[in-house]
Amino acid sequence: MTVDTRSVLLHLGLIALLIVLGLVLPTYHQGNLARILVLATYAIGFNVLFGYTGLLSLGHAMFFAAGMYGCGLAMHLGGWPVLSALGAGIIAAAVLSLIVALLALRTIGVAFMIVTLMFAQAFFLTALYLGEWTGGDEGFVIAQASRQIAGFALTDPLTRFFAALAVFSVALLITARMMHLPFGRVLIGVRENEERTRMLGYDTFRHKLLAVIISGTISGGAGAAYAVLFGYVGATFASVQYSIFPLLWVLLGGMGTTIGPLIGVAFMFYLIDYASGLTNAYLLIVGAALVLLTLFARAGIVGEIRKRWVPWLP
């Protein structure tokens, strides 16, 4: 069996497993899984830039929030139907990521981190400043009645789950395929040694530019999906902690792995969910778990599995 075939089977098998889980899990966990899938889509977007291209952005919340606002405002103020609004959210994130990429890619390393952080902070403050439309820090609710596609209410738990799974699957399959194409190989080349990649004749700036746009657009798609599936849009999602979350998720799950983002989000989600049931000091438990993982599984959960036992894992 070739690595390609194994990879296809792994990804399709994962989607099949998620379908089964969605059908058999109790309502509470079904709802959690829907959220995890949307957030994992965000993490997949982040992973394209951080895990594969080696560019650490500390401002990805602005892309997630751009998708969220693009979609949410189109529905809330413009009365757009869900699919058009989702399109608006994705376009908003794509345009923002193009602009940010053109400016931020003039820097490298730590400067790139700081510039993306600053752009995200500016985006966050703008969302607060334009409170008349965005609802500022309070945000706004998208009317329950408008959250439906072709008569299917996205507020129904099972419909919402499958919608979230569809969004996740598209992002997963696109990135998995992309990393098998020459374009994806060049991104990995940039991560490993940008100078050498450039010397080999590749236009690394163009590749990095496309990586930021793809990464930002996937993250924005997740934000737009979050808005329609869960009915809330607010500036909290543009705050700095929502830029740090995808970094944690990807580091935990395994940077540069296709299924790592999902594992990282699910691990973090249930760690918080269960630990908070045990003690009020659950953040201490979360912190300790993160330190232990950093010490003993530096490549993240999936990364460590790949390193030790399953070298073909994509």
Partner 1 sequence: MSKLPKTSRRSLIKSVGAGALLASSPLVGRFASAQSGAPIKIGFQQHSTGIGAAYGRWYGRTTEAAVKAINDAGGINGRPVEIVAEDDGTDPKRGAEVVEKFANQHNCDVAFGTLFSHVVIGSAPSAGEQKIPYFVVSEGHHVASGGLNRYTLQPGITDVKSQVQAMAPYVADNLGKKVTMIFPDFAFGHDHRDFFTAAIEAQGGEVLEHIAVPPSETSFTKYFPKIPRDTEVLYHVMVGPAVLTFVKELGEFFGPSSPAIFGFIDSLEAVDLASPGLEFLEGTYFWEGNPRYAQADQTSHDKNFRAAVGVDENGASVSDPKDVSTYAHMFGCWETLHIIKAGMEASGYQGPADRQKLIEAVEAMTDMPESDAHPQGPKVFNGKTHQVFGVQYISRVENGRLVKVHTTSIEDTLYPDETDYTTQSF
Interaction site with partner 1 (CB under 8 A): 26-28, 31-32, 35, 121, 125, 128-129, 131-132, 135-142, 144, 155, 230-232, 234-237, 272-273, 276-277, 280, 282-283
Measured CA angle at 225 (ends 257, 19), to 5 deg? 60
Query: Closest separation between CB of residue 132 and partner 1, Å?
Result: 8
Is the CB of 91 or the CB of 154 nearer to partner 1? 154
Tokens 């703008």 belong to which residue?
Answer: 126
Query: Closest separation between CB of residue 85 and partner 1, Å?
Result: 16
Q: How many CB atoms lie within 10 A of CB 111?
A: 11
Cβ 107 vs Cβ 122: under 8 Å: no
Whole-angstrom Cα distance, residue 263 to residue 1? 25
Is the CB of 200 or the CB of 281 nearer to partner 1? 281
Is the CB of 52 or the CB of 245 nearer to partner 1? 245
Query: Closest separation between CB of residue 107 and partner 1, Å?
Result: 22
Is the CB of 228 or the CB of 259 nearer to partner 1? 228
Whole-angstrom Cα distance, residue 6 to residue 299? 21
Cβ 302 vs Cβ 254: under 8 Å: yes
Is the CB of 187 or the CB of 266 nearer to partner 1? 266
Amino acid found at 205: F
Helix (H) or strand (E) holding 149: strand 148-149
Query: Closest separation between CB of residue 31 and partner 1, Å?
Result: 5
Query: Closest separation between CB of residue 159 and partner 1, Å?
Result: 11
